[in-house]
Structure 1
Amino acid sequence: MRAIGALTRALTLGVAVVAGLAVAATRAADGPPAGQTEANAPPTAQPPASTVPVTPKDAAPPPSVTIIGASDAHGVLGRDVRSAADEDMGRIVDVIVDRDGHVRAAVIDFGGFLGVGSRKIVVDWNAMRFGKIANKKDSITLELTKAQVAAAPEYKEDTPMVVLGASGSLQPLQAIQ
């Protein structure tokens, strides 16, 4: 019986607190109490800047949306690259873009065995072909021979890079100062 009495008192107190908050909120929305002007109203706390409502003029326009089918596009990082003769050329480990955001080249982890003795080579994006080739689903083919790639200098980050391209496909990159 005592527990029920305590529960009833706690519930009554909770209802009273909620009712008091509701009345205070209503009064705040209606303005200062009778006889009190805005000038002599007690100071109220301003909401933090992060909770200030965003006006429509500040709202960002809705983003554009494009739907691409799962079979129409794939990521390229980590994908195997083959030569036209179906030789293993390595895996794409990075993509190089110019200052305008255009894709210029791919960095391929070439050679070695199980990651030992491999080196990174930069190949022109236009020297790669994406698509299905004889029993290979969504393969990436490089229009260079294994010997050409093996002779290319190694890519080292933050140094000038030599981009290996298929005959006639490479466009010069303007010097970045």
Structure 2
Amino acid sequence: MRAIGALILGIAIVAGVAVATSRAADEPPAGQSEAKAPAAPSPSSAVPVTPKDAAPPPSVTIIGASEAHGVLGRDVRSAAGEDMGRIVDVIVDRSGRVRAAAIDFGGFLGVGSRKIVVDWNALRFGKIANKKDSITLELTKAQVAAAPEYKEDAPIVVLGASGSLQPLQAIQ
């Protein structure tokens, strides 16, 4: 029992010395005052923002609900009414100009489908018959089926109805 008591007393002494050493390290040496951090400026002493420093207000455009729609995930049909797939991506050039759309074409319930890239100018947005806000592709199903598959990080082959798409120049 005496050994256990001595052990506990020794642990208490070591802990006390550790606490005292820690406190001494945090206090400034004798004769030196502790440096105080500068006080935060009060709101009344803050530098006023002048109009030349303020950012200009952003422009605001209001587009009516019937005037514009998102295109990702939208169905695409041929002029003959055939299902051509669904838009899954929009391809832009380095200047941000829309160049083409990637369409998930073929397959059944996503199995066996492949991505085909078509010229943005080959798409027609509008109302056809009983379908409002339809997207029509000016290509036949056979033309799209024969197109090479789009693969990321590979040169993009863009299928166009009019052939008006100009190739991008390589930037070096």
Amino acid at match of 1:148: Q
1:127–1:169 Cα contact (<8 Å) kept: no
TM-score, normalised on structure 2? 0.71
The 2-side partners of 1:101 and 1:81 are apart by 23
Deviation at 1:43, TM superposition (A): 5.9
Report which of the two structures shows the higher radius of gyration computed on alpha carbons. 2
Answering whether residue 77 of structure 2 is matched by residue 79 of structure 1, we say no
Distance 1:91 1:43, change over 3 A: closer
The 2-side partners of 1:110 and 1:176 are apart by 31
What whole-Å deviation, never above 9, does each CA across 1:121-145 have from its counterpart, x for those lacking one? Answer: 0000000000001111100000000
SS in 2 for 1:148: helix
Deviation at 1:173, TM superposition (A): 2.4
Counterpart selection for 1:66 from 61, 64, 71:
61
Q: How does 1:158-169 map to 2 (within 5 A)?
A: 158-169=153-164
The 1-side partners of 2:48 and 2:158 are apart by 51
The 1-side partners of 2:47 and 2:113 are apart by 55
Note the residue ranges of structure 2 that are not aligned, 5 or more in a row: 1-35
Amino acid at match of 1:77: L
SS in 1 for 2:110: coil
Compare 156-165 and 54-63 and name the one that shifted more: 54-63
Note the residue ranges of structure 1 that are not aligned, 5 or more in a row: 1-41
Distance 1:150 1:176, change over 3 A: farther
The 2-side partners of 1:52 and 1:143 are apart by 61
Distance 1:89 1:58, change over 3 A: same
The 2-side partners of 1:52 and 1:75 are apart by 45
What is the aligned-residue RMSD (CA, Å)? 2.0
TM-score, normalised on structure 1? 0.69
Deviation at 1:118, TM superposition (A): 0.3
Answering whether residue 110 of structure 2 is matched by residue 128 of structure 1, we say no
The 2-side partners of 1:133 and 1:44 are apart by 70
1:79–1:92 Cα contact (<8 Å) kept: yes
Structure 1: 4+ residue segments shifted above 2 A: 42-47, 51-58, 167-177
1:83–1:142 Cα contact (<8 Å) kept: yes
Q: How does 1:92-111 map to 2 (within 5 A)?
A: 92-111=87-106
The 2-side partners of 1:156 and 1:108 are apart by 12
Partner of 1:45: 39
Taking every aligned residue pair, what percent have the same amino acid on both sides?
Answer: 90
What whole-Å deviation, never above 9, does each CA across 1:3-55 have from its counterpart, x for those lacking one? Answer: xxxxxxxxxxxxxxxxxxxxxxxxxxxxxxxxxxxxxxx863236xxx98755
Distance 1:57 1:164, change over 3 A: same
The 2-side partners of 1:125 and 1:96 are apart by 9
The count of residues paired between Structure 1 and Structure 2 equals 133
